[in-house]
Structure 1
């Protein structure tokens, strides 16, 4: 993932989080890579000063309350926030990985069994969200991050309490991303139900499996027309046969015809089990497939390789086949998807994850690892007038690289010691 240095006008810290660099931005907000005093990485979202007003603060406060309400292994964890600060900010767990949109555009669609695993994981996560009386309302590939521990859902800026009568939008005003929006949501129907997230998940899985969305057009307004037109069926071209019944149901025009999230999980399990695999195996292979594409560590030449014990023989029935060999992703031509225009939105936590930059990219623009980011030169800043450290900054911390180097030296010495 790429990071850019902080600008001179950027804050050095927000709350207890030290800011290390920029990792994304949107029309209303900026997202920074931050670190807690205990070293926990965080994605810190800040509303731009130019758009801070009473309504944006109210939206931001609602998003904070939503994140305080929900939790789960597939939801980026809430770490802290302050909606009343001069620069309102929100910190969530930093997921080190690309979003689904970037992964598919770079590496092509997912195999059907991995698409089904992704569907089961996300449907289960959304079901937990719905149990709290919430709707996401803006699920899309850019809001699913593929981290080293599996996919996680981010950006609940448009989430709404299903039974809430408080609306932050004008009557008949539509919020969301047209290419993944359910017909009733695009038509401005209220109140919305859990079926809108089922449709959005279906659009997301269609993109994961084929590289295109149910409806695509040159402008958002044309997409709205296609989505709301009962006579225009979603484009299911390229969908593997085993996924066709599932996606046909999830993308039904009538909300009552769509399956429940529990039904989605069961259908995804059926697809996986029909290929002789268990759901847990498919989930592991999904993570190995996506993480393996983006997290390929470079070989280290600092120290000689220490002797490693021979691997133990696997237990009978253990799944040991490499994910990349068993479910290869052939090169597929992905049609360029239209820009996911948001008609009305709040600052997104979407992090534009990109592939590791080529060697020609200056080191200052590369994503700093846990071992090296403390050794990156900080961007130049005007000195404080008082000559004292800037308010809110933290003293330098010990280098993680130094500790790891010492550990490796001790290990190497112990391996060669005669006692």
Structure 2
């Protein structure tokens, strides 16, 4: 649901009229806003961490890459700017609940609905990776379920904030969906997104991420040393998730390879993303009812509770 603006919320952000709040968390506040022409957008006003001029330059570079991502199962980023010295990011408003909300309200997904989710989110990751972007915070709260299929949001922002906010003693992300290499101080590349994708699919199918939740040091230990629990996930999706949850990033498939595996038939490279988006679209009669978009993701614990974690690197 969209919340009413608070007394201290701005009436305008960079020329966009604020209509209400969509969410708030460690990254900042997300507003439902309106352009001069009446189109609705989501505007994320970022929190602290970008005071350093060099950090702002890195942020603009990262968001510039994010704006190159093709519109396949992703929420587009048409504009960025600064308002009162604070950076903001404008993205397409996706009218639908987050995957985290759906899991919390309805329980796990099954059958064709789960398969469409898997295909759509892999299509989005393939588009993101083709643009040279790594999501770094893929999780149920960053997947919105619109009438025409899943949309992935917040790509590009996490890396920019990670590089600007944190030192070498910390890691940024959401622990239940983070890959082992992220806890070892190594760069989070596309393979880390595939690990997070598989963890998200397990959560979608079972209601819990594959390494559970709870105290962060114990959770990190399980991610590093224990085999994942895949629950009732079955068939080719179970097999693919297991490959993506391999401790070794080199053993995980690329997003395009994983997408082809789920589609189950050869597709020319130039048509792969379009085919993925088509296969992820729900039948018209079963499309999800419209709901206010949730633009801030979940953290460790209950899927619907928004929080972005900062994890001490020595916790393991």
More strand by share: 2
Distance 1:201 1:216, change over 3 A: same
- The one of 135, 156, 170 aligned to 1:173: 170
CA distance in 1, matches of 2:65, 2:43: 16
Instruction: Give the number of the structure whose alpha-carbon radius of gyration is greater.
Output: 1
Q: Deviations over 1:83-102 (max 9, x none)?
A: 37433322111111111111
> Is the contact made by 2:65 and 2:131 (CA closer than 8 Å) also made in structure 1?
no
Q: TM-score normalised to the size of structure 2? A: 0.80
SS in 1 for 2:199: helix
- The one of 288, 293, 306 aligned to 1:291: 288
Q: Could you say which residue in structure 1 is the equivalent of 2:269?
A: none
Query: What is the deviation of 1:155?
Result: 1.0
Q: Could you say which residue in structure 2 is the equivalent of 1:34?
A: 33
Distance 1:287 1:102, change over 3 A: farther
Q: Could you say which residue in structure 2 is the equivalent of 1:259?
A: 253
> Is the contact made by 1:116 and 1:269 (CA closer than 8 Å) also made in structure 2?
no
SS in 1 for 2:43: strand
SS in 2 for 1:20: strand
Asked whether 1:344 is paired with 2:293, we answer no
Q: Could you say which residue in structure 1 is the equivalent of 2:158?
A: 158
SS in 1 for 2:309: coil
Q: Could you say which residue in structure 2 is the equivalent of 1:206?
A: 202
Q: Could you say which residue in structure 2 is the equivalent of 1:14?
A: 13
Q: Could you say which residue in structure 1 is the equivalent of 2:242?
A: 248
CA distance in 2, matches of 1:199, 1:188: 16
Q: Deviations over 1:339-369 (max 9, x none)?
A: 6753339xxxxxxxxxxxxxxxxxxxxxxxx
CA distance in 1, matches of 2:35, 2:147: 20
Q: Could you say which residue in structure 2 is the equivalent of 1:222?
A: 218
SS in 1 for 2:214: coil
Gaps spanning 5+ residues in structure 2: where?
A: 266-274, 292-300, 312-316
SS in 2 for 1:207: helix
Query: What is the deviation of 1:123?
Result: 1.4
Q: CA RMSD in A?
A: 3.0
Query: What is the deviation of 1:338?
Result: 9.4
SS in 2 for 1:109: coil
> Is the contact made by 1:99 and 1:142 (CA closer than 8 Å) also made in structure 2?
yes
> Is the contact made by 1:42 and 1:93 (CA closer than 8 Å) also made in structure 2?
yes
Query: What is the deviation of 1:39?
Result: 0.9
More helix by share: 2
Q: Deviations over 1:218-270 (max 9, x none)?
A: 212221111112xx101112223443211111111111222221221122123
Asked whether 1:53 is paired with 2:44, we answer no
> Is the contact made by 2:43 and 2:90 (CA closer than 8 Å) also made in structure 1?
yes
> Is the contact made by 1:17 and 1:34 (CA closer than 8 Å) also made in structure 2?
yes
> Is the contact made by 1:187 and 1:228 (CA closer than 8 Å) also made in structure 2?
no
Q: TM-score normalised to the size of structure 1? A: 0.62
CA distance in 2, matches of 1:153, 1:194: 15
Distance 1:32 1:287, change over 3 A: farther
> Is the contact made by 1:69 and 1:132 (CA closer than 8 Å) also made in structure 2?
yes
Q: Could you say which residue in structure 1 is the equivalent of 2:180?
A: 183
CA distance in 2, matches of 1:216, 1:59: 34
Query: What is the deviation of 1:336?
Result: 5.0
SS in 1 for 2:173: coil
Q: Could you say which residue in structure 1 is the equivalent of 2:136?
A: 137
Gaps spanning 5+ residues in structure 1: where?
A: 161-165, 272-277, 296-334, 346-419
Distance 1:211 1:128, change over 3 A: same
Q: Could you say which residue in structure 1 is the equivalent of 2:22?
A: 23
CA distance in 2, matches of 1:7, 1:280: 37
